[in-house]
Amino acid sequence: MLRSIPTVPLAVALQALSLLFSPASAATVTLSIPPSPQIPNPAALPPSTHATLTALGASFVAPLTTDNTFVFRNVTAGSYLGDIHCPTHGFAPLRVDVISATAGDDVSVRVWETFRGNDWENKGEEIRPATVGGALPVKVFGSKVYYTERSSFSVLSILKNPMILMGLVSLALFIGMPKLVANKSLTNINHLSPTVDPEMRAEFEEQSKKNPMNSLMSGPQSGSSPMGNFDVAGFLAGQGSGSKEEPEPSSGNGGKKGSKK
Amino acid sequence: MYLSYQALSLSVLLALPASVRAVFQDEVGHIDYHHELLGVPQRETTFFHRPRAEEKASLLYTLSDLGVLGAVNPSNGAVVWRQLLAGNVTDGGGFLRAAEDQTWLVGAYGSSVSSWDALTGRSAWSLNSNGVVKDVEVMEITERGGKDVLALHQESGATVTRRIHGTDGHVVWEHREVNKDVPLQVSTSLDKVFVVTLHGSLLSYSLKVIVLDTLTGKKLDEIPLGTKGEVQKPEDVMFVGANSAAPIVAWTDNAMTKLKVNVLGLKSKQEFALPADTVDVEIHAPHTIQSSPHFLVHSRTKSGHKADVFHIDLKSNAITKAYELPLLKGGSAFSTSSSGTNVYFTRVTDNEIIVTSSTSHGVLGRWALKSGAEKLAALHGVSEVIKKAGDSYAVRAVVVTDSDDWTQIVNGGLGWTRLEGLSGAVAATWAEFSQSEDLARTLEAEAHSNPLSAYIHRVKRHIDDLQYLPTYLQSIPNRLLSSIVSSENTESTDEVTRDSFGFNKLVILATKRGKLYGLDAGNHGKIVWSKNANETPSGKHWDVKAIHADNAKGFVTVRGSEGQFIIVKADTGKTIEAMPSSLFPPVDGAVVVDSDAGPWLLPIERDGKLADVQVAWAPKQTVVTRTSENEIQGFNYVEKDELASAIPVWSFSPSAGQHIVNIATRPQHDPIASIGRVLGDRTVKYKYLNPNTIVVATVDEKISVLYTYLLDTVSGQVLGSSSYEGVDSNKDITCAVSENWFLCTYYGQYQLQDSQAQNLKGYQVVISDLYESELANDRGPLGDAANFSSLHPVDIPTGPALPSLVSKTFILSGPITSLAVTQTRQGIAARQLLAYMPESHSIIAIPRMLLEPRRPVGRDPTPAELEEGLVKYIPAIELDPRMAVSHARDVLGVRSIIATPAILESTSLVFAYGVDVFGSRVTPSQAFDILGKGFNKVALLPTVVALFVGVLGLGPMVRKKQINMRWQAPM
């Protein structure tokens, strides 16, 4: 009845076949998964990958074939929702329209991307076959992620925490800076003028105390600010009250003078 | 409004509350278990085959009795790939053939023939046609050099034979024979195609062979075989060989005394006597063309079995009996294996495995079966015989045993065993281990007796418990160690006991083959016991209508449709009581009812009739039954003398044109932790919590409308109804009810009714919340009344207090079926909707928060709503793979999902059955009452030690510094 020579291309043979067993105005829809950055090797997709076409009162299923296509045969005219179900990758939903032109056997297939939860007429980009009459390539979203990473306890992850980093830096400043500043300010002055008189030095120190940053850095040695009176190490050791024993006349500039007695 | 898909799905993902979390990688195989099954392999459709001719390794292929086509690695029994041949679970039958040295397999079921790549499991081609496929055969030799497929179809009034191209699936030729014959099988020799049909009418058939030309399909000859009435039914013809130099057809007479064999293409037949009392005859022959034309006739008698080996002379086509294998007691399985021209027969008996060559009766190898404690009763099997150096042989056989297992035997030693019996489950229930129930009962007894005696009893009980103290003390170091090394003690003990978390529970599983299994959910679904519970006549399945576990007694009752039931002990499977079928009237179903004698399973007879019961067993509740296709009735039991009989109190039938597609009832355990929902502004919306409600979904196929009705089961009153247009009645429509909400899922295609003319298409879920009133801080017509009655409504003027309904519809990214709701002990933890995704083969847990009907539409949520956890309504719900409870596992053919609470409030146990068996634990509101694996005790201990050392080390330093400061001279 239908003799076909083995050299006839597969798609043509299938088309002929579908016409043989089907009523008029039924089309063959062929979707394909081309190699893409997300799926470099479509041949490695699991065999449970399949595609469905659904509409009110109709549904078609096509498994993934050896040449990475989904072939729906005898699809009657209508507008279908196309889904590709794959355990490893997510695919874009499709709108597949099978249009029968007139009463004849002539049917055409048009495919667009569609958006779930949106109007059906709201179509995305039309998908065109790579070659005329060829398979329609489908769009991959990416790999499916089934698992969440467990946040495990590790010292490094604690150290990476910005809050901890800030705390550590400020701790280093509190402890290290007073010494650094004390030495540096002296050496600087000495370097500038070896024959500096004590008056000038006192003036410099007065200047540096006016600088709020310095007063913050100069730490426990100056009683100028409430912060200055705060002994970090002592507080951490639970003995912070020790330094409070000193009564502190804290009133603006008076405090500065107090420290200069 | 145009929104790109990515933006949509991303926003949905962001909308997921933080409580949604996926399975952790390290929990895989720890909290969950999965039996990846195929179904019980069928004799004709199981074989070894090399998927790639150039490689030596062969795989084991089968088309099971559930319609699953699968490849199994014979070295470890692991599934390589699986496909549902017909797209869904079937009821046996089907054909599967492999072509020697080809990469494909060909399978057929129903009206379709399909070809699959043997190594990858991908589809090569498929061919749908009118008529039913009756046989498929591979044509080993064609004029092209490749291999083709012969398919025999039965159409109404015609027998159609098609030759299909092996690699691309087009029809090479078609032969149509218009007559009323019953097509039986198709066979091929080197140069001819034979179609064996049955001619005549039922009980008086005669065989007819149609000879076709291989090249064109032209009819060459028609050969009638035997006399009229020689064959009574198609099953009497047991074998038609194919791909042999001399294919044969063999049949028996009705009394099983003679075997008649015809070499296809000849007009004559030869007769051979069968042993006395033969009940079953099987013929085994090689399926390769180069093999010697030898075959083995395996006759089973009532007590034993024997085998005769026949040779066919290729020149004269005469069949001669070569030798016979002795009659042995018990059952056995024969299988053939061929290499080159040599044909080997492997015989697996109850206690040994014997290999003989087809040419002589000399035993080539004999191994005693080391089958352990259980006797291995092989039903059928396949084997591979390898000739090793010298004259020694090795054999590996894979047999289907009486217990529905699939076991590999390598030279007598047991290899792997696949528990295929667990597949095809039709009902399952959770059961508790009985021991703690004793304690609960003692405590209850103490609570009810007077304080003094209760105290004495308690002291006595504690003194009794002292005897367990030494063992408890002994176990402490072990437990401490194991708790440090792993967060949870999961060593698999053979002892099945309860654990303090309540993860150890039994699942009682009934399969359609009539087997009952007890699985230990806390021990990776290990089989605790199994038994043959239902002796069904072959071909009939155990149609289980209800299964109920009575945890107080520790019994499980299983009721079948033919009136049969069995009561077994949950922990051992010991039969307490069994009733064979047909003694009691057939039942439509059974429901658990409370009575003075305790809860029991009340059978519902055909058409919803309820039999009279004894007064003590009379149900206290209203029993709701489906009395006909389209009617639901409520019955109350009224005492009449010694008996109580059911009196109909109400009935519900939807309007004409609608028919009931689904009825959803509440889970048995559905505790409600809070009667209201606190809104963002600190007002409360009170939930409508009526325990006597069911949801009935009906559909009008003509206009494609789905109706849902919320019924009060005491009064039969409709409390709420909705209709949904454009619903596909051919696709799955399922509903679920829990707490104060219900939902239905369906495929919809309709136009939105609001101003924008929008069309929608896709799988959807509609969820409705029920509240006592539309207003917050209002308890509706009932007010603060502690009790309410469905029969004496308070509303003015006469109607009942109707709930206020809030609904939303969501579009899902795929279909969901087999709905269930998670259950926790107190109902405090959030709920999740459990569902099977038939397209993705996974079980998903959708958080209730996501399916919230009160999500604001068309605007961003106010801060108060955000505080409540409400996010903006987005119509599409992308079923994120991270919501999958079964994560990357391929769970095939789930029929139902059951959930049960653990002792821990956070956790609900989940079990899914169907083709596969899957179980896991879900924590809908995170595991707030148990330390997970993420809590690293090993890391914690050094951290504490390090901190302690740090404090010890820093202490003196700080002290020194402070002292130095005191002594420092002020500047």
Please give the pLDDT value at position B498.
66
pLDDT in tens, A198-208: 676 677 667 66
Q: How many CA atoms lie within 13 A of B665 on its CB side?
A: 10
Given a contact cutoff of 8 angstroms between Cβ atoms, the answer to whether B835 and B844 are in contact is: yes
Does the pLDDT at position A217 exceed 80? no
pLDDT in tens, A92-120: 999 999 988 665 556 788 899 999 888 88
Copy the structure tokens of residue B903: 């002792």
Does the pLDDT at position B206 exceed 90? no
Among A121-130, A230-239, B71-80, B563-572, whose mean pLDDT is lowest? A230-239
CA B622 to each of CA B305, B618, B671, B697, B713: distance values in angstroms, whole numbers, following the listed order: 57, 11, 20, 20, 7
- Start-to-end CA distance of chain B, whole Å, equals 74
pTM: 0.84
Given a contact cutoff of 8 angstroms between Cβ atoms, the answer to whether B890 and B841 are in contact is: yes
Residues contacting residue B346 through CB under 8 Å, at least 6 positions apart: B334, B335, B336, B337, B353, B354, B355, B381, B383, B385, B395, B397
Question: Are A1 and B173 an interchain contact pair (Cβ–Cβ within 8 Å)?
Answer: yes
Supply the Cα-derived Rg of chain A in whole angstroms.
Answer: 40
Question: Are B811 and A93 an interchain contact pair (Cβ–Cβ within 8 Å)?
Answer: no
Alpha-carbon gap, residue B297 to B320, rounded angstroms: 12
Residue A86: closest CA among chain B residues belongs to which residue? B840
Please give the pLDDT value at position B538.
60
pLDDT mean over B794-817: 81
DSSP state, residue B630: T
Chain B residues touching A155 at Cβ < 8 A: 943
Please give the pLDDT value at position B205.
84
Please give the pLDDT value at position A195.
53
Chain B residues touching A55 at Cβ < 8 A: 749, 761
Does the pLDDT at position A62 exceed 50? yes
Label residue B1 by pLDDT band (50, 70, 90).
very low
Does the pLDDT at position B510 exceed 80? yes
Chain B residues touching A83 at Cβ < 8 A: 813-814, 839
Domain residue ranges of chain B, discontinuous segments joined by +: 274-418, 936-971
Q: What is the spatial order of strands in the sheet that B41-49 belongs to?
A: B41-49, B59-64, B68-72, B79-84
Please give the pLDDT value at position B66.
92
A84 touches chain B (CB under 8 A): no
Residue A66: which of B83, B117, B890 has the nearest Cβ?
B117
Alpha-carbon gap, residue B669 to B899, rounded angstroms: 10
pLDDT in tens, B122-172: 999 998 888 899 999 988 877 888 889 999 999 988 899 999 998 888 999
At B502, the amino acid letter reads G
pLDDT mean over B579-592: 85
Label residue A184 by pLDDT band (50, 70, 90).
low
SS3 B849: coil
Please give the pLDDT value at position A130.
78
B119 touches chain A (CB under 8 A): no
Alpha-carbon gap, residue B370 to B413, rounded angstroms: 5
Q: Dihedral through CA B848, CA B851, CA B852, CA B853, nearest 10? A: -140
Backbone angles phi, psi at B951, to 5 degrees: -65, -45
Does the pLDDT at position A261 exceed 60? no
pLDDT in tens, A4-15: 333 333 333 344
Q: Would strands A136-137 and A140-143 be described as parallel, antiparallel, or unpaired?
A: unpaired
Question: Are B962 and A48 an interchain contact pair (Cβ–Cβ within 8 Å)?
Answer: no
Please give the pLDDT value at position B240.
72
DSSP state, residue B420: G
Please give the pLDDT value at position A260.
39
Closest among B230, B228, B238, B284 to B255, alpha carbons compared: B230
DSSP state, residue B274: P
- The 10 Å Cβ neighbour count of residue B404 is 25
Given a contact cutoff of 8 angstroms between Cβ atoms, the answer to whether B159 and B181 are in contact is: yes
3-state secondary structure B947-961: HHHHHHHHHHHHHHH
CA B309 to centroid of chain Cα atoms: 41
Please give the pLDDT value at position B823.
93
Residue B726: which of A8, A56, A93 has the nearest Cβ?
A56
Does the pLDDT at position B816 exceed 60? yes
Label residue A122 by pLDDT band (50, 70, 90).
confident
Q: How far is B388 from chain A (nearest CA, A)?
A: 36
Is there a cis peptide before residue B797, judged by omega within 30 degrees of 0? Answer: yes
Please give the pLDDT value at position B291.
84
B760 touches chain A (CB under 8 A): yes
- Provide the percentage of residues in chain A whose pLDDT is more than 90: 24
Please give the pLDDT value at position A201.
67
Please give the pLDDT value at position A209.
62
Q: Which of residues 325 through 384 in chain B touch A, CB cutoff 8 A?
A: none
Label residue B342 by pLDDT band (50, 70, 90).
confident
Q: Which residue has the higher pLDDT, B584 or A2?
A: B584
Q: What is the mean pLDDT of chain B?
A: 86
Does the pLDDT at position A235 exceed 50? yes
Closest among B917, B924, B882, B885 to B901, alpha carbons compared: B924
Label residue A228 by pLDDT band (50, 70, 90).
very low
Alpha-carbon gap, residue B64 to B403, rounded angstroms: 15
Q: Which residue has the higher pLDDT, A214 or B577?
A: B577
Please give the pLDDT value at position A223.
43
Please give the pLDDT value at position A259.
38
Q: How far is B7 from chain A (nearest CA, A)?
A: 10
Alpha-carbon gap, residue B359 to B406, rounded angstroms: 30
Residue A57: which of B730, B758, B875 has the nearest Cβ?
B730
pLDDT mean over B544-558: 89
Please give the pLDDT value at position B485.
66
Residue B170: which of A4, A117, A120 has the nearest Cβ?
A4
Residue A48: which of B129, B890, B965 has the nearest Cβ?
B890
Q: Which residue has the higher pLDDT, B22 or A37?
A: A37
Given a contact cutoff of 8 angstroms between Cβ atoms, the answer to whether B169 and B157 are in contact is: no
DSSP state, residue B781: G
Question: Are B123 and A65 an interchain contact pair (Cβ–Cβ within 8 Å)?
Answer: yes
Domain residue ranges of chain A, discontinuous segments joined by +: 10-143, 155-259
Chain B residues touching A50 at Cβ < 8 A: 839
Backbone angles phi, psi at B320, to 5 degrees: -125, 150
pLDDT mean over B440-446: 73
- The 10 Å Cβ neighbour count of residue B859 is 9
pLDDT in tens, B215-271: 888 999 888 887 777 787 787 787 777 667 778 888 888 788 888 888 888 888 888
Among A46-50, B52-56, B213-217, B479-483, whose mean pLDDT is lowest? B479-483
Copy the structure tokens of residue B853: 């009907």
Please give the pLDDT value at position B10.
40
SS3 A10: helix
Does the pLDDT at position B795 exceed 70? no
> Which residues are paired to B170 by β-bridges?
none
A191 touches chain B (CB under 8 A): no
Residues contacting residue A46 through CB under 8 Å, at least 6 positions apart: A86, A87, A88, B81, B890
Alpha-carbon gap, residue B223 to B205, rounded angstroms: 14
Alpha-carbon gap, residue B568 to A198, rounded angstroms: 103
Label residue B344 by pLDDT band (50, 70, 90).
very high
Alpha-carbon gap, residue B413 to A38, rounded angstroms: 46
A78 touches chain B (CB under 8 A): no
pLDDT mean over B752-770: 86
Alpha-carbon gap, residue B670 to B684, rounded angstroms: 21
Copy the structure tokens of residue B475: 């176990």
Residue B705: closest CA among chain A residues belongs to which residue? A56
Alpha-carbon gap, residue B561 to B584, rounded angstroms: 10
Please give the pLDDT value at position A46.
93
Q: Which residue has the higher pLDDT, B189 or B112?
A: B112
CA B801 to each of CA B689, B692, B712, B718, B770: distance values in angstroms, whole numbers, following the listed order: 12, 14, 11, 11, 12
Does the pLDDT at position A247 exceed 80? no
Does the pLDDT at position B450 exceed 80? yes
